Amino acid sequence: METIPLIAWFRRATIALAAVLCAASPAWADKYASIVIDMENGQVLHDRAADEARHPASLTKVMTLYMVFDAIESGKLKLSERLTVSKAASRAQPSKLGLKAGSTIKVEDAIRALVTKSANDVAIVIAEKLGGGSEAKFVTKMNAKAKELGMNATTFRNASGLPDKKQITTARDMAKLAEAVYMDHKDRYNYFSLSSFTWGKRKYMNHNELLRKVDGVDGIKTGFTNASGYNLMASAERGGRRVIAIMLGGKTGKSRDAHVRDLIEAAFLEIGGGVVSDDDLRTRIAFGERGNVSADDLALAQLRRLQEPDAALVASLDNDAFADAVGTTEEGDESLLEEVSEGDGEGYDPIGDLIEASPAPAAELAATPVPTPITTVAAEDAIMVTSEAPSGAPPQALDLLNQLTTP
């Protein structure tokens, strides 16, 4: 009996997986929120789900840094002061510097590590210092400061942003925090512009890619957990005018960066008295993270991409290839194990990430032809469907293949 060639088998399994997505809304759909504010007059230039509860992830560290800057200004901390690392801090989940219990780190290095590496162990070191040895006491101070800044929809539960279901915020509250950091600590705001940080023999690049790619962007912070999606708090200045852009709940770091870039470009066009006439730009903003695209359109986009055979998809059946395909986490961790540990326990779905939906605008999606039914077999395939699957296939794909081939 003939069996399915590897590429034909994988194409059918992944098509079945994409088709299943038609039955449910995308997991990221309820995570997206955004807002853009002109700091000159406080005008809201754009907002979408800006008051809906979301998880801040590592944007939490912006409040931690605000508290550090307050402490320096009041004389409670000095940049040259060395902070001792506790056992609790050394056991923090990634992303982290890997500090050893009993070692020390200077306050200024701690600031740099939070801004660039988004180090969770460093956040705990600072929290324990400013909380009298207790991160919980520091968190109480964080929440009091949040209320003082008008962040009434925000509740902090830790100093790092590590997953906690009760740690919530809104895009509007995060914009208030970004504005407060800039206005209250202008003399230290330049830390958020750091392109890199060197610790020991390693050099860590700032996760905020917009610093290097978008004119005027000079801060401030990224964030990611499975529950939050990809978050970004950005600020940019052009011609003496500054805007703050917040996006929460991105599907990927790349799509998040592209969307925030579009929001910033549109904001400066409006500030300059221009009109956003670029149709592609308007579409990208309106359909940021494809939040208005139906589940059916999303699945169609996925099916379209899967019509073209791709040797890389076949190679990705190997577990190591999956890791290469999806890359490292947005927070800079360098292994899949670290990515899983930084998340909120929802697990890691390499197949889902591998067949990520096309970012095509709604008009293009609507015009997308329905793919040839999977029962139609190309002449060159000339196969018989059997229940035998290639060895080493992912269990998710095996389940889908079984569903696909069951009479």
69 in any annotated domain: yes
| pLDDT beyond 70 at 1 | no
Token pair of 297 as six digits: 């359109």
**Cα(151)–Cα(83) distance, rounded to whole angstroms?**
29
Q: How high is the pLDDT of residue 51?
A: 97
Structure-model confidence comparison of residues 246 and 317, the more confident one: 246
Q: How high is the pLDDT of residue 273?
A: 76
Q: How high is the pLDDT of residue 288?
A: 56
Q: Which of 86, 95, 118, 160 is catalytic?
A: 118
Q: At what angle do helices 120-130 and 107-116 cross, to 10 degrees?
A: 140
**Cα(52)–Cα(72) distance, rounded to whole angstroms?**
33
Assess whether 55 and 149 both reside in one domain: yes
- Least reliable range by pLDDT among 80-94, 139-153, 226-240, 264-278: 264-278
Token pair of 28 as six digits: 């990221």
- Which residues does 361 contact at the CB level (< 8 Å), separation at least 6? 280, 283, 284, 287
Q: Which of 31, 34, 61, 228 is catalytic?
A: 61
Stretch 208-226: mean pLDDT = 95
H-helix or E-strand spanning residue 399:
helix 395-405
Assess whether 61 and 156 both reside in one domain: yes
| pLDDT beyond 80 at 42 | yes
**Cα(130)–Cα(397) distance, rounded to whole angstroms?**
50
Give the rounded distance of the alpha carbon of 113 from its chain centre.
19
Q: How high is the pLDDT of residue 30?
A: 80
Q: Which of 34, 58, 90, 160 is catalytic?
A: 58
Assess whether 311 and 166 both reside in one domain: no
| pLDDT beyond 50 at 89 | yes
| pLDDT beyond 50 at 115 | yes
Q: How high is the pLDDT of residue 362?
A: 42
* CATH of residue 61: 3.40.710.10
What's the N-to-C CA distance of the chain in angstroms?
A: 18
1 in any annotated domain: no
| pLDDT beyond 50 at 193 | yes
The sign one gets for the Cα dihedral 57, 355, 50, 221 is: positive
335 in any annotated domain: no
Binned at pLDDT 50, 70 and 90, residue 287 comes out as: low
Q: What is the dihedral of CA 378, 384, 389, 390, to 10 degrees?
A: -60
Q: How many residues does the chain have?
A: 407
Q: Which pTM value belongs to this model? A: 0.67
Domain boundary residue, one of 274, 290, 306: 290
Assess whether 20 and 97 both reside in one domain: no
Q: Catalytic site residue 86?
A: no
337 in any annotated domain: no
Q: How high is the pLDDT of residue 272?
A: 85
* Burial (CB count <10 Å: 0-12, 13-18, 19+), residue 190: exposed
Assess whether 134 and 213 both reside in one domain: yes
Assess whether 41 and 16 both reside in one domain: no
Of 157, 97, 86, the C-alpha closest to 128 is 86
Give the structural domain span for 323.
Answer: 6-26+293-328+347-405
Q: Catalytic site residue 80?
A: no
Which strands, in side-by-side order, build the sheet including 43-48?
43-48, 33-38, 241-250, 229-238, 217-225
Assess whether 137 and 113 both reside in one domain: yes
Q: Catalytic site residue 103?
A: no
Across the chain, mean pLDDT equals 74
197 in any annotated domain: yes
User: How many folded domains does the chain comprise?
Assistant: 2
Assess whether 106 and 16 both reside in one domain: no
Q: How high is the pLDDT of residue 57?
A: 97
396 in any annotated domain: yes
**Cα(290)–Cα(383) distance, rounded to whole angstroms?**
37
Assess whether 283 and 171 both reside in one domain: yes
Q: How high is the pLDDT of residue 10?
A: 54
Assess whether 373 and 254 both reside in one domain: no
> Are 306 and 14 within 8 A, CB to CB?
yes
pLDDT in tens, 347-402: 323 333 333 333 444 444 344 444 433 333 333 333 333 334 444 444 554 344 34
Q: Angle CA(327)–CA(331)–CA(337) in degrees, nearest 5?
A: 60
272 in any annotated domain: yes
Structure-model confidence comparison of residues 305 and 149, the more confident one: 149
**Cα(191)–Cα(220) distance, rounded to whole angstroms?**
9
pLDDT above 70: percentage of residues in the chain: 60
Question: Three-state SS for 402?
Answer: helix
| pLDDT beyond 70 at 38 | yes
Assess whether 170 and 249 both reside in one domain: yes
Q: How high is the pLDDT of residue 82?
A: 98
Assess whether 203 and 277 both reside in one domain: yes
Helices (H), 78-156: 87-90, 107-116, 120-130, 135-148
339 in any annotated domain: no
